[in-house]
Structures are given as structure tokens and as C-alpha cells.
Amino acid sequence: MSDKVKQDSLVTLHFRVTLPEGGQAFISTFESTPATLQLGRGELAPALEQRLTGLEVGNREVFDMEAGTVFGQHKPDLVQRFERGDLPADIELDLHSVIEFSDPEGNKFPGLVRELDDATALIDFNHPLAGRAVRFEVEVIGVV
């Protein structure tokens, strides 16, 4: 067991993701079970892996990450307008709700309802934090 995070480490940590200006956490493990992640396998954004590399067990850090570096840039082509009649009848559409779509291979994709009128629904398949700066708070618990 190592005390320092390396590029290929298995890391157990608590983390919280918020906007830099504060507000409610989008995700946090501090109130529950810590996460265990393998660095170098794409489980975390490369920019976050870089910031974790070199930290030691017990370190607690806060990183402000530039827009797009963690959840990617917002891609306009991932925002699509659907005729309401083309959507499954059992889907309840509400403004700002997240609904799940499946492709022909069975892969699931969440989409956020951005606009809704009598005839159409505008669905955004980008990550909700795509194109946004985020604050990443981390506490390293263990490193292998």
C-alpha cells in the first residue's frame, strides 16, 4: 500500500462536486460511503486525475476546474427537438425533468427536458455540467 497517489493508483476517496460559486452539491460521498476509483482507466476526467496525482492519504483539497475540463464542452448537436407524438406514450414529460432513452443496442441515455410545448419537446443529452466550471473537493482515504 502506498501513501501517495500515482497515475495508475487505485484510490479510495471522498469527493464533492459543486459550482465554484457554491450552492448545493451535484454529487457528494462525504455523507456516505467513499468511492474507489482506478486512475488511468477513464473513470475520472484526465484533468481530475492530474490534480489527484501526488496527493497523499489524509490530504483534503479543493480544486476549481475550468469550464469543460471535467464534463466536457456543451455540444449543440446533443440538443434535439422531438415531436411529442414520436415519444413513447408512457413517458411523463415535465419541464426540467430527466427522461431515459435507449438506442437500438440497448444503451441508455438520460435527456433533460429544456423546452416543452403542445407539439414538441426540446431534449438536451449533454451532461448537466457540460461546459461549466466546477469545484471538486476531495479527501484521499487510501491508495493502492
Domain covering 10-72+129-143: architecture: Roll (3.10)
Neighbour tally for 72: CB within 10 Å: 14
In the chain, where the domains are located:
10-72+129-143, 76-124
Residue 91 pLDDT > 90: no
- Tell me if 123 sits within 8 A of 79, measured CB to CB: yes
pLDDT tens sequence across 34-83: 999 999 999 999 999 999 999 999 999 999 999 999 999 999 999 999 99
The reported pLDDT for the residue numbered 10 is 97
- Going by DSSP bridges, is the β-strand pair 134-143/60-65 parallel, antiparallel, or unpaired? antiparallel
Exposure string over 52-67, b if 16+ CB within 10 A, otherwise e: bbebebebeeeeebee
- Residue 1 — pLDDT band, cuts 50, 70, 90? low
CATH fit for domain 76-124, picks 3.30.420.10, 2.40.10.330, 2.30.30.100, 3.40.228.10: 2.40.10.330
- Tell me if 122 sits within 8 A of 144, measured CB to CB: no
What value does the mean pLDDT take over residues 93-100? 92
The reported pLDDT for the residue numbered 95 is 94
DSSP code, position 94? -
- Tell me if 38 sits within 8 A of 95, measured CB to CB: no
- Residue 89 — pLDDT band, cuts 50, 70, 90? confident
pTM of the model: 0.79
Q: Which of 95, 89, 137 lies closest to 115, judged by CA? A: 95
